[in-house]
Amino acid sequence: MRATVLHLPGEIALVERPKPRIVDGTDAVVRVTTAAVCGSDLWWYRGDNPFDQPRRMGHEFIGRVEQVGPDVTTVQAGDAVIAAFKVSDGTCIPCSDGYTSNCHRGSYWGQSDRDGADLDGGQGERVRVPYADGTLVPVPGGLDEALLPHLLALTDVMPTGLHAAQCAGVRPGSEVVVIGDGAVGLCAVLAARRLGAERVTIMSRHPDRQETSRAFGVDDIVTERGAKGVARIRALHGGLGAAHVLECVGSEQSLQQAIDCTRPGGQIGMVGIPHGVPLRPRDLFIKNLGLRGGGAPARALIPGLLPDVLDGTLLPGAVFNRRYTLDEIGTAYADMAERRTIKAQIDVTPV
Amino acid sequence: MRATVLHLPGEIALVERPKPRIVDGTDAVVRVTTAAVCGSDLWWYRGDNPFDQPRRMGHEFIGRVEQVGPDVTTVQAGDAVIAAFKVSDGTCIPCSDGYTSNCHRGSYWGQSDRDGADLDGGQGERVRVPYADGTLVPVPGGLDEALLPHLLALTDVMPTGLHAAQCAGVRPGSEVVVIGDGAVGLCAVLAARRLGAERVTIMSRHPDRQETSRAFGVDDIVTERGAKGVARIRALHGGLGAAHVLECVGSEQSLQQAIDCTRPGGQIGMVGIPHGVPLRPRDLFIKNLGLRGGGAPARALIPGLLPDVLDGTLLPGAVFNRRYTLDEIGTAYADMAERRTIKAQIDVTPV
């Protein structure tokens, strides 16, 4: 079967790999119908993460179950499924707490699991899924072409946007600022609205992303950066900034921007993976701020989001503004890296 | 009148200063009956804060109103009052939000206010109180000798302990770890119990503080530090640590200890003033933690605590384990710096 590998930063290729098979009784094998490229894939692609060896790529995928091990109880061959962006066993203490992204036996697609076995990446034709009950969510009614982008958004970006909003304590009537106009930032707008936010501002300089943010319900768009951007945000939010700020980038500047845009006593939700970001706790202390975040517990959040996607009331798939075949995966990475595409939908095998 | 001045780190003295008078219509003049030395005074005393000039000392005091300006409406001459540890106007947006410690016109006792006028310190016979309505809380029934330490604890350490617990999200049934066995850490134990915590562990190596923590309702005392301390905490709290950790010190080691003692998905309340502490947001991100805190909004919290102090159901004053006269203020500092005294009560003028 064909699978995507990053040979070196910037060098994406399709390679032949053996078809995966059931290893443990809790495994499933999933045929990937549709995958996505994630902003965090680009950290590797751009060489921003330390690179040690070629990597199987992709952690956002949906598909059909082909085979299950004898201990799998919640999905069966033929089922349409959404995979969370990280493996989770569903039974350890963090999983029971709802923090599936902190699972004791958790591992990342395309990397080694805790026993040293290589895991398949999601940007390939098939994937062995460990702990299938704890990792996959079945889609009642199966896969429908029009639903694909919305279901695909449930693997990562929509739960991550929701996690940002929840970590920032967004509730009915909240004023919210979203930092970052990538797919996660855009989904964070949608999530804030879903939680009842009254006013949502996004910082964005890209016309295509601004358009999507408007479709997702944003009230104001701030194009300025730095001190000017902070001044605009404060002016829009009572002179002091917003009580709920969603940090969806992960750079030093974006975290500082978040702190500066937050009103005293406010709360920052942090879902951008911090890249070499130092923080002075005193900056939080002085303004009596809260900072909370991490990898979204997608597996725990998907079941609450899926019914609304299925009945058409939640449509996060608009973040996918271009489709590619698996053969075009290299182009998809390049387009995202150059910001020609907000988020790439990869059609891998027939639905 | 006599007032306490820190001439240089380590050099505490009583000096003569002019009696304060009403300057603004919103001022009051308070005769200080009882003051306290705070752990944060020791940062100056020890030379851990950058020292530029002699400082008027003390920000924890209770007393009697002697005089009020024409615009003061909530207290009058003769009233017994508690002063919050920071001046607040009570009317700006942060004050209205309940963050009186982030008041726009806020200033610190003993330092210059926003207009450049010097403020009196609390460790002296009289204090001019700006924004008396926004800063002072009247004590119905007046000052009673037995109540003094408990009322004095309401100026700072008890609201700060409560702020720690609230920032850490403590609620009925919570498992809580308190880092720091100073007066604030001890009050944090009391606050956690008050909020319904089911199990409270403190890290403490001092027998006198351990005893007070037991009186305040602690279940377990961990005397080990570093990795051993973390291992003990985790063992006591389900193997992973507690969901609510209260950081009441402010050093680099204590914040790291807090992060290490917190269960994935947990929340740290931070009230120790961070002293040169760097933090990697990634350390929070990886465990999906929250960190929240700052200077306690004492003025906003005192009215909720005072009735329970007056009816004897909340007795935080046990943190004061030694009394001194104002003449002995130098000894009080030395005793606290050497940990011979947990917290010093200074009898300044007759009740």
> pLDDT tens digit string along B100-118?
999 999 999 998 877 778 8
Kindly state the percentage of chain B with pLDDT values over 90.
Answer: 91
Q: Are B189 and B200 in contact (CB under 8 A)?
A: yes
The C-alpha atoms of residue B273 and residue B259 are separated, in whole angstroms, by 16
Report the run of H or E that residue B302 belongs to, with start and end. helix B298-310
Chain B interface test: which of A253, A280, A292 (most B C-beta within 10 Å): A292
User: Could you give the 3-state DSSP secondary structure of residue A34?
Assistant: strand
Stretch B48-77: mean pLDDT: 95
Q: Where are the alpha helices (DSSP H) in B35-80?
A: 39-45
Task: Return the residue of B nearest to A240 by Cα.
Answer: B93
Q: Are A155 and A83 in contact (CB under 8 A)?
A: yes
Kindly write down the DSSP assignment for every residue of A97-156, as one continuous string. TT-GGG-TT-EETTSB-TTSPBPPPSSBSEEEESSHHHHEEE-TT---GGGHHHHHHTTT
Residue linked to tokens 């001022």:
B27
User: pLDDT class for B137, splitting at 50, 70, 90?
Assistant: very high
pLDDT at A252: 87
Answer whether A292 sits within 8 Å of B291, measured CB to CB: yes
Partners of A239 on chain B (C-beta within 8 Å) are 93
Burial class (CB in 10 A: 0-12, 13-18, 19+), B228: exposed
User: pLDDT class for B278, splitting at 50, 70, 90?
Assistant: confident
pLDDT at B274: 86
Q: Are B119 and B110 in contact (CB under 8 A)?
A: yes
pLDDT at A114: 75
Please give, rounded to a whole number of angstroms, the shortest distance from the CA of B234 to a CA of chain A: 13
Please give, rounded to a whole number of angstroms, the shortest distance from the CA of B249 to a CA of chain A: 13
Q: Are B272 and B295 in contact (CB under 8 A)?
A: no
Work out whether the CA dihedral B177, B180, B181, B187 comes out positive or negative.
negative
Residues forming a β-bridge with B129: B28
pLDDT at B196: 98
pLDDT at A289: 98
Task: Return the residue of A nearest to B256 by Cα.
Answer: A281
Phi then psi for residue B174, to 5 deg, are -65, 150
The C-alpha atoms of residue A283 and residue A300 are separated, in whole angstroms, by 32
The C-alpha atoms of residue A49 and residue A41 are separated, in whole angstroms, by 10
Phi then psi for residue A244, to 5 deg, are -135, 115
The C-alpha atoms of residue A159 and residue A150 are separated, in whole angstroms, by 12
Burial class (CB in 10 A: 0-12, 13-18, 19+), B330: middle
Stretch B56-83: mean pLDDT: 98
Distance of CA A139 to the CA centre of its chain: 19
The C-alpha atoms of residue A250 and residue A60 are separated, in whole angstroms, by 19
Neighbours of B325 (CB within 10 A): 11
Picking from B270, B281, B289, the nearest residue to A285 by CB comes out as B270
Picking from A238, A278, A294, the nearest residue to B286 by CB comes out as A294
Domains of chain B with bracketed CATH? 2-156+297-347 (3.90.180.10), 158-293 (3.40.50.720)
Number of H helices, E strands in chain B: 12, 18
Measured torsion, CA atoms of residues B265, B269, B274, B277, in degrees rounded to the nearest 10: -10
Tell me how many degrees the CA angle B143-B147-B151 measures, rounded to the nearest 5.
Answer: 85
Picking from B94, B274, B297, the nearest residue to A285 by CB comes out as B274
The C-alpha atoms of residue B164 and residue A38 are separated, in whole angstroms, by 37
pLDDT at A175: 98
Please give, rounded to a whole number of angstroms, the shortest distance from the CA of A217 to a CA of chain B: 27
Pairing, β A322-325 against β A344-347: parallel
Residue linked to tokens 């889609």:
A139
Look at residues A299, A182, A200, A198 and name the one whose alpha carbon lies nearest to residue A248: A182
pLDDT at A218: 98
Look at residues A275, A270, A234, A284 and name the one whose alpha carbon lies nearest to residue A251: A275
Q: Where are the alpha helices (DSSP H) in chain A?
A: 39-45, 93-96, 132-135, 148-153, 157-167, 183-194, 207-215, 226-236, 252-261, 281-287, 298-310, 329-337
Largest CA distance in chain B: 60
The C-alpha atoms of residue A41 and residue B351 are separated, in whole angstroms, by 69
Dig out the tokens for A254 from the structure.
């974006």
Kindly write down the DSSP assignment for every residue of A168-182, as one continuous string. TT--TT-EEEEE--S
The C-alpha atoms of residue B267 and residue B310 are separated, in whole angstroms, by 32
pLDDT at B52: 86
Q: How many CB pairs below 8 A link A and B?
A: 123
Which stretches of chain A sit within 8 Å of chain B by CB? 93-94, 97-99, 101-102, 167, 238-240, 255, 263-265, 267, 270, 273-274, 277-282, 284-295, 297
Look at residues B111, B237, B187 and name the one whose alpha carbon lies nearest to residue A93: B237
Half-sphere exposure of A85 (CA within 13 A, CB side): 27
Answer whether A292 sits within 8 Å of B294, measured CB to CB: no
pLDDT in tens, chain A (351 residues): 999 999 999 999 999 999 999 999 999 999 999 999 999 999 999 998 888 889 999 999 999 999 999 999 999 999 999 999 999 999 999 999 999 999 999 999 998 877 778 899 999 999 999 999 999 999 998 899 999 999 999 999 999 999 999 999 999 999 999 999 999 999 999 999 999 999 999 999 999 999 999 999 999 999 999 999 999 999 999 999 999 999 999 988 999 999 999 999 999 999 998 887 788 899 999 999 999 999 999 999 999 999 999 999 999 999 999 999 999 999 999 999 999 999 999 999 999
Stretch B1-16: mean pLDDT: 96
Is residue B332 scored above 90 in pLDDT?
yes
Look at residues B267, B103, B96 and name the one whose alpha carbon lies nearest to residue B170: B267
Residues forming a β-bridge with B14: B4
Average pLDDT, chain B: 96
Partners of A292 on chain B (C-beta within 8 Å) are 267, 284, 289-292
User: Could you give the 3-state DSSP secondary structure of residue B329?
Assistant: helix
In whole angstroms, how far apart are CA B149 and each of B37, B237, B320?
12, 33, 6
- DSSP letter, residue B275: -
Q: Are A345 and A329 in contact (CB under 8 A)?
A: no
Residues forming a β-bridge with A11: A8
Q: Are A57 and A154 in contact (CB under 8 A)?
A: no
The C-alpha atoms of residue A240 and residue A233 are separated, in whole angstroms, by 8
Q: Using N-to-C axis directions, what is the helix angle for B157-167 and B298-310, rounded to 10°?
A: 110
Q: Are B316 and B20 in contact (CB under 8 A)?
A: no
Neighbours of B145 (CB within 10 A): 8
Largest CA distance in chain A: 60
Q: Are B346 and B327 in contact (CB under 8 A)?
A: no
Phi then psi for residue A90, to 5 deg, are 80, 0
Answer whether B274 sits within 8 Å of A282, measured CB to CB: yes
Answer whether B284 sits within 8 Å of A270, measured CB to CB: yes
Pairing, β B86-87 against β B107-108: antiparallel
pLDDT at B277: 73
Measured torsion, CA atoms of residues B95, B96, B99, B104, in degrees rounded to the nearest 10: -30
Neighbours of A11 (CB within 10 A): 12
Answer whether A98 sits within 8 Å of B265, measured CB to CB: yes
ipTM of the complex: 0.94
Please give, rounded to a whole number of angstroms, the shortest distance from the CA of A243 to a CA of chain B: 10
Pairing, β B28-36 against β B61-68: antiparallel
pLDDT at B302: 98
